[in-house]
Homo-oligomer: A and B are copies of this chain.
Amino acid sequence: MIEISNLSAEKPYKYFDRFYKAAIDSKQEFIEAISIASFNEDSNEVESRYVNLKYIKKDEWIFFTNYNSPKARQFKKHDQISILFYWDKTNVQIRMKARISKSPASFSDKHFEKRSIEKNALAISSMQSQEIESHQKVEDNYKKVLNSTDKRLHRPKSWGGFSFTPYYFEFWEGRENRLNRRYIFLQRDGEWHEKYLQP
């Protein structure tokens, strides 16, 4: 589930809210899973991966990760990303494009405090996406942090939130024989422009 507060009243957010509620009603699993595609300026490569979206605050969408991870380094040089939801229970795809930046440290602290000690021990012990000799070593590092004397773990500076604000939405509804419905919202000069696309 995504923690949604003070959702924007703009039209694409009304669409989002409607599709999101329909997915909940259809008992969609992993409703918070999004794929994030980013651009690696150094290697000239597109890269993508799944993350869990945790919050939508008004028009700001937030997930958490390691700030030294490859994706974090990519966001720093190329702050434009593409985001996808797919909810199979309702056959709805949501495509977004956005600019991304680090969330305020105070917000990351607050979220870190709410998480289980097990997840936090992993956030501290893992150098995300760095090579390691074995999975056993991952578990050893994790247990060392988990069993450390300091039971109130503190958020490491290397872990925190990323916030993105979409400037483009496509709501895609799958229909029989590929007669899919596609609604586009594009922000230009602070206004949302709407159109239909052919399937």
Contact = CB atoms under 8 A, between A and B. Distances in A.
A107 interface: no
Interface string A157-187: 0000000000000000000111101100000
A133 interface: yes
Given A37-B82, A199-B138, A93 B49 contact: yes
A134 B95 CA distance: 20
Contacts of A29: 88
A198 B45 contact: no
Given A82-B37, A84-B35, A178-B122, A132 B197 contact: yes
A131 B197 contact: yes
Given A197-B131, A198-B138, A30 B88 contact: yes
Interface of A: 29-30, 33, 35, 37-39, 44-50, 78, 80-84, 86, 88, 93, 95, 97, 116, 118-119, 121-123, 126-135, 138-139, 142, 176-179, 181-182, 195-199
